[in-house]
Chains A and B, each alone.
Chain A
Amino acid sequence: METIQDKQRPSHLNSVSGGRRKPLHGVASFFRHPATPFLLPAVIFLFTLTIYPFVYSVISSFLNFSLTNPRPPTFAGLGNYLSLFADNLFSVAVLNTGLITVASVVIEFLIGFCMAHLFIAIADLKGSQLLRTIYILPMMVTPVVVGLLWSYILEPLFGVMNYLLSIVGVAPQPWFSDANTALWSVIFVNVWEWSPFMMLICTAALVSIPRDLYEAARIDGARWFQTVMKVELPLVRSTVLVGIIFRVIDNFRMFDIIFATTRGGPGRATEVISLFAYRQIFQYFNAGYGAAAAVVVFLIAMIFGTVAAKLLPREIHHA
């Protein structure tokens, strides 16, 4: 027997409300859902620009697929992946990517945390807002422009940095052109650009700590180091972890700064996975092999993201 409410309810809602009519499933239910017209543009966007290219990349990674070969691609099975793991250059790229990621994120956090403290301490001073705006400017600049900018500043013969060092009697440094300094120069540029992001995250987390906790710590005789370790870090952990996840994933995809400064050199000193994949696909046109490298980047980022998400406190998951 139909209730009055059932009669009054528009028929298309019955299928999703658990009414007595046979509920629709899958595609049919999606197209009859009242929210569908609103969701459709986003779904089309997501499918065209994210899902389809990703699925295409995964399929390509299992093919002998050369962009310059007019013959259709052939199935390679796991061949591209096996070649990839036997490729010494790829191993170096994975190691370099890991090193850049770990070093950059740790330094960015340390600088960001200290700068957040500084800006909170001087918040009442006139001009502090302006200083903070200036400090976050680097993260608003396109990474490739940042790379070019620093390649000029650190240019060994004509660059400003070596000129300044020469004034204080320091010999010119090779920066990007020596295998011992190139990777650290890249990390420096990366940190210069992104530590403001970590500062913003840390500031947001620090200002949300109740003041009475600081007072309690002070009454208990805690020194600044103990306050940082026992009060601040536990309370900013969840917010900062979100920032760290973003930055780790960003660093795994790092391309622009290295492309603009060292192109992976000297030798293989700054080779990273994204550059390796780019070279395979767009310079050698080995689309299958390059796609396999891109899929590995995705898998590493996904595994890290999943593990990190598990580390987030329960309240973040429910938020």
Chain B
Amino acid sequence: MPLAAIAASASGQAIDWQTELKKADGKTLRIIMIQDPWVKAFDTIDQDFQKITGASVVVDSYSYDDLHEKEVLNGNSKSDAYDIIVLDSPWVGEFQQGGYVENLKAYLDKDAKILQWDDFVPTFRQVADWKGSIVGIPFGAYFVLFNYRTDLFKDAGLNPPKTIDDLKDAAKTFTKNSKFPGVYGIGMNNQRGAAVGQAFFEYIFNFGGKPFASMYPGSPDPYADMTPEFNSPECIAVVQFFKDLVQYEPPGALNMAWDQRANAFATGRLSMACLWSVREPILSDPNRSKVDGKFGTLVFPTNNGKSVPPLGGWVMGINTSSKQKDLAWDYIKWFTSQEIHKKFVLLGGPPSRLSTMQDPEVLKKSPWIQTVYESQSQTFADCRPRIPESFQIIDKVGLHVSEALQGQVSIPDAMKQVNEEVAALLKKAGYKVSETTQP
């Protein structure tokens, strides 16, 4: 790295990208990623990369399940169709153990001054690290924020809830209330599969429970003992809470997932919704939202004293089979640098750096980022397991919780079934699972 660039970076000045990035005229860099609202920001930002390096950037984006499927199949077939793989936090273990992505540790050490690794959200740095291997560089950290309608709460004379019990009471107040016609208390992710499966993991730590024996905030090794505890009283309480809330949700609540929940809040039909922060720019856009200027955000509510806000999001890894690894790294270090990351956030990207979250220009444009900053220090990197089996575990939870919400089985029976199936799955995969799965 040129000395001038190091000095510029360390002093907070703009990096001389012309000398920092290699020329790659005529080359095409291909990226595979999630089809989330901020993808179009890449079109704007990537033009700058093309001007500097001469390389064009092609971004292919897919829905969540399709993306996982395509990336795993690409990894297995050692395809070089994509140079950069954008992966979600629960897939980190799977992609590292499958050898689908490079260990970026050496790259990171080489360009430490540019990357400013310590500036990324600490728990998201842990997310990107699997057994000492840096699987990807963070660029899209998501946090679940509690959203509420400031105008409705003011009219009702209520303070926004801080605990989950308060949240339930508030949901009751706003549902079928002639003072608030057409408004429902809350919208939850109840749809079978990943939607309700992930929702379970969002709430369990805030009920004081844990999904596995050694998986809890502050655990020295969350994967040391993978004995499932899905039939614990806390886990059952989470599902009971989901079921209790259904009466305060809009029609069709049991098939509601991320998009429907956010749309219902954006169209003014919900008084509250706990949403992934990626949706916040849409809520603040008057062209796409009826609640612009009428909603506030708070840290995720909890019944356990200190909130554990759900953390997720995306890191950029380099495909092990790529034939353009140097170009891919040039792009990653450029895109995730402080300078470009701020541009990305101003265009609607999710903030992942502490400096960006505290930047006055960013906060002026998106005040909700203050809540993101408050949330980040309380997050738990393993709030969803990051092992190769996590997709299947979340889906199993999602199936049986959905059955319980439908009343097809009792909640204890559903969670007992989850426990047995997950225990069998993890035992077969070689994890430490005690015979007695009942805590």
**A268 x B399 contact (CB < 8 A):** yes
Q: Which residues of B contact A157 (CB under 8 A)?
A: 250-252, 260, 264, 269
Given contacts A263-B192, A263-B193, contact A269 B406 (CB under 8 A): yes
Q: Which residues of B contact A155 (CB under 8 A)?
A: 252, 260
> Shortest distance in angstroms between A76's beta carbon and chain B's nearest beta carbon?
13
Which of B99, B252, B399 makes the CB contact (< 8 A) with A89?
B399
CA distance A250 to B254 in the complex (A): 29
Q: Which of A276-302 touch B at CB < 8 Å?
A: 279, 282-285
Q: Which residues of A contact B287 (CB under 8 A)?
A: none
Of the candidate stretches A14-22, A103-111, A117-125, A170-178, the one touching chain B is A170-178
Please tell me if A143 contacts chain B, counting CB pairs below 8 Å.
Answer: no
- Looking at A67, A174, A282, A285, the one whose CB has the most chain B CB atoms below 10 A away is A285
CA distance A312 to B250 in the complex (A): 51
Report how many A-B pairs have Cβ atoms within 8 Å: 95
Please tell me if A265 contacts chain B, counting CB pairs below 8 Å.
Answer: yes
CA distance A182 to B192 in the complex (A): 13
Q: Which residues of A contact B406 (CB under 8 A)?
A: 178-179, 266-267, 269
Q: Which residue of B lies closest to A89 (CB)?
A: B399
Which of A70, A162, A177, A179 makes the CB contact (< 8 A) with B98?
A70
Please tell me if A80 contacts chain B, counting CB pairs below 8 Å.
Answer: no
Given contacts A157-B264, A179-B406, contact A266 B255 (CB under 8 A): yes
Q: Which residue of B lies closest to A173 (CB)?
A: B251
Please tell me if A96 contacts chain B, counting CB pairs below 8 Å.
Answer: no
Please tell me if B391 contacts chain A, counting CB pairs below 8 Å.
Answer: yes
CA distance A134 to B95 in the complex (A): 49
Q: Which residues of A contact B166 (CB under 8 A)?
A: none
**B399 x A267 contact (CB < 8 A):** yes
Please tell me if A73 contacts chain B, counting CB pairs below 8 Å.
Answer: no
Q: Which residues of A contact B399 (CB under 8 A)?
A: 89, 267-268
Q: Which residues of B contact A266 (CB under 8 A)?
A: 190-192, 254-255, 402-403, 405-406
Q: Which residue of A lies closest to B264 (CB)?
A: A157
Q: Which residues of B contact A173 (CB under 8 A)?
A: 251
CA distance A267 to B406 in the complex (A): 7
Please tell me if B267 contacts chain A, counting CB pairs below 8 Å.
Answer: yes
Q: Which of B112-137 touch A at CB < 8 Å?
A: none
**A267 x B69 contact (CB < 8 A):** no
Given contacts A263-B193, A265-B193, A266-B402, contact A67 B256 (CB under 8 A): no
Q: Which residue of A lies closest to B398 (CB)?
A: A265
Q: Which residues of B contact A285 (CB under 8 A)?
A: 72
CA distance A89 to B192 in the complex (A): 14
CA distance A104 to B201 in the complex (A): 38
Given contacts A156-B252, A177-B256, A266-B405, contact A67 B267 (CB under 8 A): no
- Looking at A70, A158, A175, the one whose CB has the most chain B CB atoms below 10 A away is A158
CA distance A92 to B273 in the complex (A): 34
Q: Which residues of A contact B252 (CB under 8 A)?
A: 155-157, 172, 174-177
- Looking at B193, B255, B406, the one whose CB has the most chain A CB atoms below 10 A away is B255
Please tell me if B408 contacts chain A, counting CB pairs below 8 Å.
Answer: yes
Please tell me if B340 contacts chain A, counting CB pairs below 8 Å.
Answer: no
**A68 x B192 contact (CB < 8 A):** no
* B-side interface residues, number (CB < 8 Å): 36
**A162 x B72 contact (CB < 8 A):** no
Q: Which residues of B contact A179 (CB under 8 A)?
A: 406-408
Q: Which residues of B contact A196 (CB under 8 A)?
A: none
Please tell me if A262 contacts chain B, counting CB pairs below 8 Å.
Answer: yes
**A267 x B402 contact (CB < 8 A):** yes
Please tell me if B44 contacts chain A, counting CB pairs below 8 Å.
Answer: no
CA distance A89 to B396 in the complex (A): 11
Please tell me if A264 contacts chain B, counting CB pairs below 8 Å.
Answer: yes
**B388 x A265 contact (CB < 8 A):** no
Please tell me if B168 contacts chain A, counting CB pairs below 8 Å.
Answer: no
CA distance A128 to B395 in the complex (A): 50
Please tell me if B94 contacts chain A, counting CB pairs below 8 Å.
Answer: yes
CA distance A268 to B395 in the complex (A): 12
Please tell me if B19 contacts chain A, counting CB pairs below 8 Å.
Answer: no
**B191 x A265 contact (CB < 8 A):** yes
> Shortest distance in angstroms between B404's beta carbon and chain A's nearest beta carbon?
8
**A267 x B98 contact (CB < 8 A):** no
Q: Which residues of B contact A182 (CB under 8 A)?
A: 255
**A284 x B395 contact (CB < 8 A):** yes
Q: Which residue of A lies closest to B99 (CB)?
A: A70
Q: Which residues of B contact A283 (CB under 8 A)?
A: 65, 68-69, 391-392, 395
CA distance A285 to B267 in the complex (A): 38
Which of A67, A68, A172, A177 makes the CB contact (< 8 A) with B255?
A177
Q: Which of B60-109 touch A at CB < 8 Å?
A: 65, 68-69, 72-73, 76, 94, 98-99
Which of B73, B250, B255, B269 makes the CB contact (< 8 A) with A176?
B255
Which of A67, A158, A178, A263 makes the CB contact (< 8 A) with B254?
A178
Contact flags A175-217 to B (C-beta < 8 A → 1, else 0): 1111100100000000000000000000000000000000000
Which of B69, B99, B250, B408 makes the CB contact (< 8 A) with A282?
B69
CA distance A265 to B69 in the complex (A): 20
**A68 x B250 contact (CB < 8 A):** no
CA distance A176 to B255 in the complex (A): 7
Please tell me if B253 contacts chain A, counting CB pairs below 8 Å.
Answer: yes
**A174 x B254 contact (CB < 8 A):** yes
Q: Which residue of B lies closest to A269 (CB)?
A: B406
Given contacts A177-B255, A263-B193, contact A68 B76 (CB under 8 A): yes
Of all A-B residue pairs in the complex, the 9 with the closest CB atoms, nearest first, are A156-B252, A265-B192, A177-B255, A267-B403, A156-B251, A172-B251, A177-B252, A177-B254, A179-B406
Interface residues in chain A, defined as those with a beta carbon under 8 Å from any beta carbon in chain B: 67-68, 70, 89, 155-158, 162, 172-179, 182, 262-269, 279, 282-285
Q: With contacts A68-B98, A156-B251, A179-B408 known, what are 4 further pairs, Cβ within 8 A?
A: A263-B192, A264-B193, A282-B73, A284-B395
User: What are 6 pairs between A and B in contact, CB < 8 Å?
Assistant: A157-B260, A158-B263, A264-B192, A266-B190, A266-B255, A267-B402
